[in-house]
A and B are shown apart, each in its own frame.
Chain A
Amino acid sequence: MDPFTTHEHEVLVIGAGGAGLRAAIEASALGCRTAVVCKSLLGKAHTVMAEGGVAAALSNVDDRDSWKVHFADTMRGGQYLNNWRMVEHHAREAPARVRELEAWGAVFDRTPDGRILQRNFGGHRYPRLAHVGDRTGLEMIRTLQDHGVHQGLDVFMEMTVIDLLRDGDRVVGAVGYDRERGRFHVWRAGAVVLATGGIGRAFRITSNSWEYTGDGHALAYRAGAELVDMEFVQFHPTGMVWPPSVRGILVTEGVRGEGGVLRNKDGRRFMFDDIPDNYKAQTADSEDEGWRYTQGDKSARRPPELLTRDHVARCINREVKAGRGTPHGGVYLDIAWIKARIPDAEEHIRKKLPSMHHQFLQLANLDITREPMEVGPTTHYVMGGVRVEGDTQMSTVPGLFAAGEVAGGLHGANRLGGNSLSDLLVFGKRAGEHAAKFARERGAGALDRAQVDSAIDAALAPFDHGIEGGGESPYAIQSDLQQIMQDYVGIVRLEDEMARALHGIGLLAKRAEHAAAVGHREYNPGWHSAIDLRNLLTVAEAVTRCAMERKESRGAQFREDYPGKSEECSKFNLVVRRGADGSMGLERRPVAPLPEELAAVVKENA
């Protein structure tokens, strides 16, 4: 049997993005020996890609803002399928979490009176996003990283967890391998926090990096935890579309927050053509009013470009399908036009959107201060995730916690931009705190050697297959999966197409059993991809099954065969759980009703 090294900790955090680091900092601050295991180097996690800002009702720019308005905005954006307890914690605690980052050294952009500046974003009623140009995620992860390394975290870089270990009902650790040498490791811990991010690599066009293979979702699922809302995958409206090699790379919503507008090939601002009823009262009537809103006129309402992401993505999709798209199958996003409105526009754009300016100049030979960008939807975020208890972030499996994108509930059917960075701070802290408490109360559990051995055997199987022995390249299998999900379970969904996808996923699962690795175990990306396939297939199946079961269009889910919202479907969340026979079970779970005082908050801020 392959040897492994055992590490002993009180709290194990899997993932070192914002949520993982914030959880680890909290657990460690409470005195727990804390380990962080991450697939990449420290500070490279996907949080670094977040651009626009972190949503928190600081009320620095508009004093009409408050946690209550943020609460109502988030519930409306999520189409009321959200876990209201999480939404409440999030709205109340986000300002304190942002100020805490400042105390740890983060340097946000400033208001004229020297406070943290906030910008407009889709679905947020008032300017709410604290930001640093368009590199807010980098600022946050670096701040957390620098704070964390001085706190004595044990960081295990470039190591991948392949399975959780259980003692009876409880999760008591994890087994994984290091990329550099391909050796196996066991982390024994009183509590485990999943902070592994999302699932974007299940799709062809995505803003997500190779790491986003649904590891945490699948680890939790295999350990018996419930997943919730998996049908809701966010397609960000503005990804790059040209040249082909950069397709999917994110173009921040901050471009629209700063006054950028969407036009079709005929030059029409098509977003004015379709404004949903529940946002009509909050949306500008004219281009002029929209512009004034982006420039801080409190009497103006927001332009339709700043409607929620699900809606903007669908409108772009509609324009392209109707033949009104750009030459490369997108629409135009124009920030250069603000030259007509303000002096020094070019300098202003470079200052507020520096990395967008650099990204387009370098990768697409395009100067965004002079020309419009071509953009189209890209898979960006999964609202669904591990179902957690709203106060503690503990899953339905004792000792297993989840925070950030891998946890479900906060965002309901659609996430507002900026709410993920605040999510990972608020619930990273909560998960770390409660994991520490759980670990202290319950102590370490017993390790079952048989579980470790079977996880290691499964991980090594790709070397036994060999390409010559009928094994197949994992890259080909992953590529086929991405195409199926992109074509059949993407932004517009149909019953028979999804049935085809489900069938295809089943066939791919069979092929994945013969995924082969060549060479040896040291830093072998082919082997790593072969191991990741199992997780990708699990999340792809969960997304597809849930999307088929929800026979309506709501939030991020758009069903062409059921284009409207259904009253019946407004009453349940879909929960996925592994059945006793190993097959995927699906259950409708009633949405918990809002308590009276929060229902009143929603009403007051309609």
Chain B
Amino acid sequence: MPATTFRIWRGDPTSAQFKEYTTDISEGMVVLDAVHQIQAENAPDLACRWNCKAGKCGSCSAEINGRPRLMCMTRMDELPPGETVTIEPMRAFPHVRDLVTDVSWNFGVKERIKRFRPRKPDAPDGTWRMQQTDVDRVQEFRKCIECFLCQDVCHVLRDHHKHEEFVGPRYLVHLAALEMHPLDTEERVREIRRAHGIGYCNITKCCTKVCPEHITITDNAIIPLKERVVDEFYDPLTRLLRVFKPRRGASKDG
């Protein structure tokens, strides 16, 4: 296969620009292979994250020709032949160097979300029973590899910088996995509405489109959580009843 030209974002926050590299592409190569080849041939200090090279760890997230993707799962032969390939870091996060960004905000968000709290074991052997059909949905959410591409594409974070008020699609999926876990007993709906800012999501479904694990983020995770918030705080009958009988939590936050 012919040599292909790559425009790669090089530099740090003080000074960065695209630099061009040309390297030979062989059958079956993915974008990450090309980046490694450029590293070995021309740019040993080209910074990029990667680990598994099989779409399982979610380290090599980048923007390829403007689309948020995993470099290890983007085949060269699915990009327009003969054209220059542009590789940039995820733009929604602070730049560190070259293709590496500072994603530490995401890890901090998770610490703010209340942990899993199971009900007491109720099977005779001291464990629990759960049916497969009851865990299918949660298992879909738990496929998440934390590549943060959904966070990268979300306009609430990317364009409006609502990092203080909104946890982003990744953590709404995490919250959905906790809330829909058959064993979990924790109460999180109030935080989902306030601290986690679910109202900022206006279901444009960009996150679902870029998810490399094909998690139906908007339909299966975010919308059901929005419904829970509505049921708890905006149901007219509940609001009416509340006038006569103030309930725990609702009176403070209603």
Contact = CB atoms under 8 A, between A and B. Distances in A.
The answer to whether A and B come from one shared complex is yes
A103 B56 CA distance: 24
Given A110-B130, A110-B132, A243-B27, A105 B33 contact: no
A105 B27 CA distance: 42
Interface string A126-154: 00000011010111001000110110000
A210 B50 contact: yes
Interface stretch (A184-192, A411-419, A516-524): A516-524
B33 to A, nearest CB: 4
Interface in A94-114: 99, 102-105, 107, 109-110, 113-114
Interface in A364-414: 364
Interface in B3-47: 12, 26-30, 33, 39-40, 44-47
Nearest to A519: B45
A364 B45 contact: no
Nearest to A521: B45
B49 interface: yes
Contact of B97 (A113, A475, A523): A523
Interface in A204-255: 209-211, 242-246, 249-250
B127 interface: yes
Interface stretch (B139-147, B158-166, B198-206, B236-244): B139-147
Given A42-B107, A49-B54, A180-B96, A105 B44 contact: no
Interface stretch (B109-117, B187-195, B218-226, B246-254): B109-117
Contacts, number: 170
A451 interface: no
Interface stretch (A19-27, A71-79, A354-362, A495-503): A354-362
Contacts of A525: 39, 44-48
B75 A363 contact: yes
A103 B128 CA distance: 9
A361 B139 CA distance: 21
A114 B129 contact: yes
B135 interface: yes
Interface in B36-84: 39-40, 44-59, 73, 75
A147 B121 CA distance: 18
A36 B57 CA distance: 19
Nearest to B174: A146
B229 interface: no
A363 to B, nearest CB: 7
Given A107-B142, A245-B28, A363-B73, A41 B59 contact: yes
B85 interface: no
Given A242-B28, A245-B26, A517-B45, A359 B138 contact: no
Interface residues of A, number: 66
A256 B50 CA distance: 29
A518 B45 contact: yes
A44 B53 contact: no
A266 B117 CA distance: 55
Contact of A146 (B100, B110, B129, B184): B110
A362 B44 contact: no
B12 A522 contact: yes
Contacts of B144: 142
Contact of B142 (A49, A139, A245): A139
A149 B139 contact: no
B98 A475 contact: no
A102 B57 CA distance: 22
A49 B135 CA distance: 22
Contacts of A180: 96-97, 100, 102
Nearest to A243: B28
A518 B44 contact: yes
Contacts of A538: none
A355 B139 CA distance: 13
13 contacts: A40-B49, A41-B59, A41-B107, A114-B131, A142-B142, A149-B110, A180-B96, A209-B52, A244-B27, A245-B29, A522-B96, A525-B47, A529-B44
Interface of B: 12, 26-30, 33, 39-40, 44-59, 73, 75, 96-98, 100, 102-104, 107, 110-111, 115-116, 118, 121, 127-132, 135, 138-139, 142-146, 178, 181, 184
A-B complex: 3 closest residue pairs judged by Cβ atoms: A243-B28, A526-B44, A114-B129
